[in-house]
Chain A
Amino acid sequence: MRLYRLRSFILGAATAALTTAATGASAVEIEYWQYFFEARVDAMDKLIENFEAANPDITVKMTHFPYDSYRTKVAAAIPAGQGPDVVQLFYGWLNDYVEAELIQPLPNDTFPPEKIEEEFFPMVQAMRMGDSYWALPTAVRSLALFYNERMFDEAGIENPPANLDELVETAKKLTKKDGAGNLTAVGLTTGMTAQDHHWIREVLIRQFGGEPYLDDYKTVNYNNEAGLKAFGFYNDLQAKHGVTKAAFMDEPQAAFKAGRAGMHIDGSFRIGALENVRGLKWSVAELPAGPDGTKSNYSSYWVNAITSKAEGEKFDAAVKFMEYLTSDEAMQIWLETVGELPAKPSAAMTDENVSHPVYGPFIKGLEYAKTTVFANESAQRQAMVDMMQRIELQGQPLEESVSQAAEEEQKILDEYYQK
């Protein structure tokens, strides 16, 4: 028995020595986890390849899961001392991950907060908690106005609307109805269930002089004059101007794709789905400015963070990998492979990117984009969906509906932050 143990020890030691010799002085393997989305996995494969070429002593192993089970898997693996060293998460989950001690802060010497604030677009500041940053994005997403060029030509419109008044006027010219007055094409798509709740929160409310939330997004602040004006403007699109119908053709993006919507507000992630649609000629413009010229936009993003599991040399390797993931080079690769926008002006605002006919308007939007800190995005969205439906289906007055929605959303926020 003892002889056997000794022999296996020698054998093991020899193998270990051999592998070390073969792969360099001290080979470290770190694990990277993300959810499965083909383009994202492809992009990450490229990034890992480049990173390993530059750091021959580090190997990165990527594992991906279907989106549905991603969060559960991460939560189960890390406390058990398994799973990723570097993990991808949605910006809105940061709070939960920090509280559950699944991730650790990025070291201040490599990622000094002042430098990050100088280099990244301002909305990334949501990733700072206390004196350090906990996670950083490679890419971000923003909103822009997609428009159907054929419908614009038919209606004799030359330029996309620059402000909200022009938006209404343009939409009126693009709307088509049949003999019975049924809409057959809308001027502008609307649907609170798509991106419109972001458009209202971070764009319209600000453009009408308000601020959607106070105290770091812990207090709802749209049950006031600015909020009522913003929701009123949105509601009038359908109720007064008749240029749209909520959920026309089931989903706004479907209506736009089918060529039955003149304009459509959506995120940069929609680009891929609209490319190569036969018979559809479309273009992108910046979101229309507000009555006083205020521009705003909403940005969301996925971030990478180092988990609490990474220690010692794995931690050092993870830091190096994070450095590469937040480099200009990585951001450009991500833009070209996934179509998501670079998170730093230095990578995003290159002449080529800004003048790009499709990416350009999205990238310009990043300069003034805001990021909503959600406690529970789907529940908070639901409050807004219900608000508009109470007005449309039950005839509730706007003021009452807005104040009810504000109360509902405040309750969601209070419940989340009290724990």
Chain B
Amino acid sequence: MRFYNTLSITQKQIVWAWAFLALPVLFYVVIRFYPTANAFVLSFQEWNLLGDRKFVGLENYAKLFGDPVFWKVFKNTFMYLILGTPVSLVLSFIIAYHLDKVRFMHGTIRALYFLPFMTSAVAMAWVWRWFYQPVPIGVFNNFLASFGIGQIEFLSSTTNALPSVLACAVWAGLGFQVIIFMAGLRAIPQSYYEAARIDGVSTWTVLTEITIPLLKPTIVFLVVFSSIGFLRIFDQVFNMTTNNPGGPLNSTKPLVLLIYDTAFNGFNMGYAAAQTVVLFTILLVVSLIQLRLLKDS
């Protein structure tokens, strides 16, 4: 106490700041940093959850980079990112842009778009999974069949399965992106639009010269946010392919599912940790690149 009294006001403020920060710092250290550090260590070890951990050096990484399944999964993960992010962003922008102009039942329509985002991913994935089935149960194929059109193999085809799973994931995330875009649109000062109208500028020019440039912070946020989401895709894939997770023939398997499978079916914790470190690195690099590219120069 006597020591505390000798401190200056600024120093006291610092002490208090740290006192209040102590709780979140402790939380992050115990819940985030410690397990993360532990995972890094584990990636150099061999452990089946039961026995002792054994150091094996770089063996896990060597095995990982020599595994054709890993490279297939690596490619899939980026397919989810490369297809998913632009498609979902363009779609949600178009919806938000037009919805912003709609006055009739605006709140209801907005709520409808947001509804999928509030639904559990598991329930949604199962409903879509049944949509995609061949006749006699699949909605899409029954519809096609009733017009005499041949069936489409959605989930049981090595080429169609990934886009089919992705469609469900894009649809699920759409509501959130629409809401963020609309908030971004509302934040653009009306005076710019008024000035443009006085100058008699076309709608297209207004869109490309005013709306999109001023939406840049929103777009940056959504690109980074949805990229991380697609790189970590799991729920939809796992639930739509539970019988043969990531199948057929690994054509839909993302990195997270590979990690899950290695860890909790194979009980190969060290190998799974190595995969996690790779995922972490990818997430970090992708986010940094995007932030750099999209940042205001």
Contact = CB atoms under 8 A, between A and B. Distances in A.
Interface stretch (A56-64, A96-104, A144-152, A333-341): A96-104
B11 interface: no
A276 interface: no
A250 B148 contact: no
B265 A71 contact: no
> What interface size band does chain A fall in?
35 or more
B109 interface: no
Contacts of A251: 243
B50 A96 contact: yes
Contact of A376 (B150, B151, B266): B266
B136 interface: yes
A178 B135 CA distance: 10
B267 A247 contact: no
B244 interface: yes
Interface in A180-216: 180, 182-184, 191, 193-194
Contacts of B243: 191, 193-194, 247, 250-251
A305 B129 CA distance: 40
Contacts of B151: 182
A245 B156 CA distance: 11
A379 interface: yes
A184 B266 contact: no
Given A378-B261, A379-B265, A393-B248, A99 B135 contact: no
Contacts of A419: 46
Interface string A347-383: 0000000000000000000000000000010110010
A127 interface: no
A97 B49 CA distance: 10
A99 B51 contact: yes
Nearest to B262: A379
B50 A247 contact: no
A397 B248 CA distance: 18
A90 to B, nearest CB: 12
Given A182-B134, A393-B249, A247 B48 contact: no
B133 A75 contact: no
B158 interface: yes
Contact of B265 (A97, A99, A247, A376): A376
Contact of B157 (A184, A249, A393): A393
B265 A72 contact: no
A378 B266 contact: yes
Interface in A226-251: 245-251
B69 to A, nearest CB: 10
Interface in A147-182: 178, 180, 182
> What interface size band does chain B fall in?
20 to 34
A218 interface: no
Nearest to B150: A180
Contacts of B265: 376, 378-379
B266 A182 contact: no
Contacts of B134: 182, 245, 248
Contact of A96 (B48, B136, B264): B48
Contacts of B244: 193, 382, 385, 389
B288 interface: no
B145 interface: yes
A379 B266 contact: yes
Nearest to A102: B50
Interface string A121-143: 00000000000000000000000
B84 interface: no
A331 B156 CA distance: 42
B176 to A, nearest CB: 28
Contacts of B266: 376, 378-379
Contacts of A183: 135
B143 interface: no
Contacts of B71: none
Interface of B: 46, 48-51, 129-130, 133-137, 145, 148, 150-151, 156-158, 243-244, 247-250, 261, 264-267
9 contacts: A75-B49, A180-B148, A183-B135, A194-B243, A247-B243, A250-B133, A376-B266, A378-B266, A394-B249
Given A71-B49, A183-B135, 13 more contacts: A75-B50, A97-B50, A99-B51, A101-B51, A178-B135, A249-B136, A250-B243, A260-B136, A378-B266, A382-B244, A385-B244, A389-B248, A394-B158
